[in-house]
Amino acid sequence: MNERLKKQMKFALEIDKDKNVFRQTHLSGHGRNENDAEHAWHMAIMAYVLKEYANEEIDIAKVMLMCLIHDIVEIDAGDTYAYDEEGKKSQHEREQAAKERIYSLLPEDQKTELQAIFDEFEELKTPEARFVRAMDNLQPLMLNDSNGGADWKYHKVSKEQVYKRQSQTKEGSKILFELTDEILKRHIAQGNISDT
């Protein structure tokens, strides 16, 4: 096996660990906690199906790749719950270190390419990154909705917290934000999201 293929295979095996990073969100039907790989796969398919609702023209292949790699850093950095303010303080630093270690397993050209796509997602400056962020917000929201808002209720999530996070959805898709707004208003009315 040549050196390049060896590195690629080492990376491919390493990212299998993403299946062991469990998130706070539960699978639909009150299933077990979702893992990062399931979340990324689900986002990628959703992005393809919902691409017509992007605010701007997008490169769907790039969007789907961005969906698939955006949480690989959590193999080292761990999942930071969307409403964990304490965890967010060190999230960037943890994820940057993980980005360097994990993507360094690849040949240099692929390392550079995938790190650039990860950084693009984090910076939210392109239509693709903004649409991926909309998917990253919509996917767990959809699961929470299917579970009667149980995760929001359990974590005592407030209206202010949810709308702060979901404001980024609007940057990627105004139409999907309207859907999000309908779902959130219903859960606030039902008491699953705190109105304070």
Gap between the Cα atoms of 186 and 80, Å rounded: 26
Confidence at residue 81, expressed as pLDDT on a 0 to 100 scale = 85
CA-CA-CA-CA torsion for 28, 32, 37, 38, nearest 10 degrees? Answer: -20
Judged against a pLDDT cut of 80, whether residue 196 lies above it is answered with: no
* Reported pTM: 0.95
Confidence at residue 82, expressed as pLDDT on a 0 to 100 scale = 82
Helix (H, G, I), strand (E, B) or coil at 32: coil
For residue range 75-111, what is the model confidence (pLDDT) as tens digits? Answer: 999 998 888 888 889 999 999 999 999 999 999 999 9
Quick one: average pLDDT of 44-53? Answer: 98
Under a CB-based contact definition with an 8 Å cutoff, are residues 148 and 192 in contact?
yes
CATH for 3-189 is 1.10.3210.10
Confidence at residue 75, expressed as pLDDT on a 0 to 100 scale = 98
Gap between the Cα atoms of 68 and 76, Å rounded: 16
For residue range 10-42, what is the model confidence (pLDDT) as tens digits? Answer: 999 999 999 999 999 999 988 999 999 999 999
Domain boundaries, the chain: 3-189
Judged against a pLDDT cut of 90, whether residue 5 lies above it is answered with: yes
List the alpha helices (DSSP H) in 15-148. Answer: 36-50, 60-69, 74-77, 85-103, 108-123, 127-146
Under a CB-based contact definition with an 8 Å cutoff, are residues 174 and 168 in contact?
no
Confidence at residue 130, expressed as pLDDT on a 0 to 100 scale = 98
For residue range 132-187, what is the model confidence (pLDDT) as tens digits? Answer: 999 999 999 999 999 999 999 999 999 999 999 999 999 999 999 999 999 999 99
Under a CB-based contact definition with an 8 Å cutoff, are residues 147 and 109 in contact?
no
Confidence at residue 72, expressed as pLDDT on a 0 to 100 scale = 98
Q: How many CA atoms lie within 13 A of 79 on its CB side?
A: 19
